[in-house]
Every structure is written in structure tokens, then in C-alpha cells.
Amino acid sequence: MPAFKLETCARPNIIALQPYRCARDDYKDDGSNVLLDANENAYGPSLAPADAAAAASSLAGFDPLGLHRYPDPHQHDLKQQLCTLRNTHHHTERTITPDNLFVGVGSDEAIDALLRCFCVPGRDRILTCPPTYGMYAVSAQVNDVATVKVPLRPAPDFALDVPAITAELTRTPDVKIVYLCSPGNPTGSLLAKADVEQILAHPTWNGIVVLDEAYIDFAPETASLAELVADHPNLVVMQTLSKAFGMAGIRLGAAFASAPVARLLNSLKAPYNISSPTSALASCALAGKGLAVMRQNRSHLAAQRDRMLRELPNVPGVGRLRGGTDANFLLFEILNAQGAPDNAIALAVYEGLAEIEGVVVRFRGREHGCHGCLRITVGTEEEVTRLLASLRQQLADVRQALAHDTNGANGTNGTNGTNGTNGTNGTNGTNGTNGTKGTKGTNGTNGTKGTNGTNGTNDTNGTNGTNGSDGSNGTNGGVA
């Protein structure tokens, strides 16, 4: 009998790992769903028609990409295209070159590579600012690196709390990486350049700031700080083609860094991490025609984002926008009947949208500062129309169902032991039949006339008058 035991053979931090939950973990695409959950570009990839046709023909047997050969391990030409895109000279007179770049399988490879490069397992830490992208903490745990959290300032600004961050870096020198997200996910808010530079200038902290700009192309044209890596040796800026470029399927991310840092990242990557098809398609997207398609699709998305900003607040039960408008998604509160953000209602609406309406968004109510919130990706005109109608319907249905349950609990649950005291404080007058009586099945039914239908209103109003008189529903307490 072998002595192998997985529990003691595998690394403890991996055994304890809670994997990152992808947008499609809860609801799969059945081909008819409206997918407004993963912040993809609903208008499609940034490929000119001829490029798209060529890509399709290669799948039919035409192979222009030399797939029998290993791909270029350095991707110099692709890196030059990325540099050309980001050398705006708005933030610095210096120019970034391919020596300043690492390209990987999505931004997630860069997140992991940075951890392996700068953090000693079991000793060093990273700092994140919730609410933020979950992969920073997941990758840290995989690498046995602890996470320190300094929350963003409250909504709607979701700005960096610079004094708290710098104080933490002074207090905890073993923090080696600060992961920042700008525009934030799930906040949609652009971080202030001055705040980022203040952290970079910390006088005693020996670490790097990683700025995740996955959504930067939805922000104002000169918002990217990628070229600032030429001025700051401790700055890394991550980007991706998955969002504005609509190329999520090819999994291409990039990290801009000082040349010495980029050299380290390139040294530890797998030899041929970017496939030939990925490189070829990315090159098409970054060429002139591809950029034109991206900008056109982006303008369509901006129009629908503006429409959602106008129309979502008109849906009964939708509350305030909690965050910014610098991404291709919006973070909105979902309200209860009293007008307060409510996680139970937001979660029920999220589930109803997916399971009944076929519209998939993301519930974000458990994240710091996002109580009662749904994050909704901006879709096409048709998708937004369907979203608005479906959201209106689901909010009405959920609130009506909860109102019915509340009524069912108000004096109707007087017959149900524990629910008798719950109800919506179902028994909140003198607590349904005076709290303790409400919980005693038999007393609940005798309960000062708790089962006497109309006499239920004599429950010292513990069962809310007319609702208490709904004797027939008195046994439906389990629904409350």
C-alpha cells in the first residue's frame, strides 16, 4: 500500500486555495444568452473584414502561420506595435521600446510572473485595495504570499487612500508589490495619476507598483500611464487585448516596465508562451485597420453606456451608480422596498436574470463597498434593450415575491414556531404572539387569537393588522 497522501504531499497553501471564480462559473453560455458578465467587447474583435476572413479560412485548412514551427520567443514586432500605441508623450518626453515589454497569456501571466520575480514565498506580501480584481490575491496565495488590504475610499469615488497606503508600506516593509487597478474592476473608476506617483515616491519602501490598465482604452485617450515606466523604475503597467480590442479568446496581455524589470520577467517566462495564431491576430488588431475597428466599436459601446446611465435609474428598484464610467461596465445598486441597497434582492435579481431571462450579469454585493450591487457589462443596442426589459421584469417579480413573503410572515406566520418570530419581524408588534409564544407552535396558533384569521389582527398588531387576518397563509412561514 503506497504511503501517498495528497493532503500532506501537496503544498498546504494550495490545499487551502479558493480558486478564482470566473464569470462563466455560475452560468454557461447556451448560445442564446445575453452575456453581460465578463466585460467582453460585445461588438466583436478588432479585425478588419479581410483579416477576419483570413483567420476563418485558416481554420478551414489554409495554414499561413507556419504552425509546424515554434513561435517567435521574443515577439519583437508585436511589442513594437504596443509601444507605438502607448508612446503618446503626454506624460513623458521619453520613448518606450520593446525592451520595456513582457507579453504573456493574458494579464494573469504577468500577475503571476511578478509575484515569482519579487516575492519570497512564506515571507513577503502584496498590498491590494479592495474592491478590486480577485486574481491578485489568488495568485499570491498560489505563490504562498500573504495579502495586505487597504480599501479604496468609499463610493462613488473609489479613490486611493494614499495616506493609509503609504503608512502601511512604512509599517510593513515586506510588502513587495502594490497591485492597483485603473480603471478599477468592479468600480469603473480611473485612479488619479498624482496618487499613483505619490506611492511610487515613497521614501523608504523598496517595492514596485503594478498598475492594471485592462480597461484603459475606455477611458480618455491620454489616460494610460504605460509610458511612465520610462521615468519610474519601480512602476509596471499591465494591459490586455481582451477588453476594448475584443480579443479575449486569444489571451494576450502585456506588462510595460523599466528595461531591467522587463528583462527579469522575460527570463522567467516559458520559452514560447505566445502562440503564432495569437501573435498574428494581435498584430492585425494593432495595425491601422484593426485600430480603426476598435475605435468604431468603442464609440458604439460608449453610446450604449450613456444610454444605460440614462435609463437604468428609471427602472424601479435600481439605485445609484456606485463608481465611475471609465470602463465598459457599470456598477449599480439594487434596492429593497425601503430604498436601501439589499444583497438578498440583488442576488435574487442576478439569479432570475440568468435563469429566467437568459441575461447574465455579475453579483458583486459581497465585495468591499459594493453592498447590493450588480456589475453590468455594456452590450450592443439589442442586448441593452433586452437587459432593461428583463431587469425591470425581474425587479418587479422579486420585490413582489418578497412582499408576498413578508405578508405571509406578518401574522400569517404566527402559526409557525420559529418563523412566527421572524416574519419580517413577522411578528414584530409584541412580536407575533409575544416572541416566546410565537415560537411555541401551539401558542402560536392560540397565540392571543393568532389563528383566528381576522382576530389575527388582535395580535397586539404583532402580525400587522390586515396581514395578520390572512389566516389561510398563516402556515406559509417557511417562505418568509
pLDDT digits (tens, 9 = 90+) for 290-313: 999 999 999 999 999 999 999 999
The per-residue pLDDT for 406 is: 62
pLDDT digits (tens, 9 = 90+) for 176-232: 999 999 999 999 999 999 999 999 999 999 999 999 999 999 999 999 999 999 999
Residue 462 has pLDDT above 50, yes or no: no
The per-residue pLDDT for 432 is: 38
Q: Are 280 and 344 contained in the same domain? A: no
By percentage, how much of the chain surpasses pLDDT 70?
79
Q: Domain boundary residue among 290, 316, 347?
A: 290
Q: In angstroms, what CA-CA distances link 220 with 125, 132, 190, 223?
A: 33, 21, 10, 5
Q: Are 74 and 211 contained in the same domain? A: yes
The per-residue pLDDT for 96 is: 98
Residue 459 has pLDDT above 80, yes or no: no
pLDDT digits (tens, 9 = 90+) for 150-181: 999 999 999 999 999 999 999 999 999 999 99
Which of the residue ranges 47-51, 110-114, 400-404, 414-418 has the most confident prediction, judged by mean pLDDT?
110-114
CA distance 35 to 382: 12
The per-residue pLDDT for 65 is: 60
Residue 64's pLDDT band, with cuts at 50, 70 and 90, is low
Residue 68's pLDDT band, with cuts at 50, 70 and 90, is confident
The per-residue pLDDT for 261 is: 97
What is the domain-level CATH number for residue 103?
Answer: 3.40.640.10
pLDDT mean over 96-104:
98
pLDDT digits (tens, 9 = 90+) for 1-36: 788 788 888 888 888 877 767 666 677 677 778 888
Is 340 within a domain? yes
Residue 273 has pLDDT above 70, yes or no: yes
Q: Are 373 and 251 contained in the same domain? A: no
Domain count, the chain: 3
The per-residue pLDDT for 410 is: 54
Is 127 within a domain? yes
Q: Are 268 and 154 contained in the same domain? A: yes
Is 16 within a domain? no
What is the domain-level CATH number for residue 310?
Answer: 3.90.1150.10
Domain span at 364: 292-406
Q: Domain boundary residue among 373, 406, 439?
A: 406
Is 208 within a domain? yes
Residue 53's pLDDT band, with cuts at 50, 70 and 90, is low
**What's the per-residue H, E or C state across the chain?**
CCCCCHHHHCCHHHHCCCCCCCCCCCCCCCCCCEECCCCCCCCCCCCCHHHHHHHHHHHCCCCCCCCCCCCCCCCHHHHHHHHHHHCCCCCCCCCCCHHHEEEECHHHHHHHHHHHHHCCCCCCEEEECCCCCCHHHHHHHHCCCEEEECCCCCCCCCCCCHHHHHHHHHHCCCEEEEEEECCCCCCCCCCCHHHHHHHHCCCCCCCEEEEECCCHHHCCCCCCCHHHHHCCCCEEEEEECCCCCCCHHHCCEEEEECHHHHHHHHHHCCCCCCCHHHHHHHHHHHCHHHHHHHHHHHHHHHHHHHHHHHHHHHCCCEEEECCCCCCCEEEEEEECCCCCECHHHHHHHHHHHHHHHCEECEECCCCCCCCCEEEEECCCHHHHHHHHHHHHHHHHHHHHHHHHHHHHHCCCHHHCHHHHCCCCCCCCCCHHHHCCCCCCHHHHHHHHHCCCHHHHHHCCCCCCHHHHHCHHHHHCHHHC
Question: With contact defined as beta carbons under 8 Å apart, do 258 and 94 qualify?
Answer: no
By percentage, how much of the chain surpasses pLDDT 90?
69
The per-residue pLDDT for 171 is: 97
Q: Are 273 and 296 contained in the same domain? A: no
Q: Domain boundary residue among 235, 259, 290?
A: 290
CA distance 103 to 253: 6
Is 11 within a domain? no
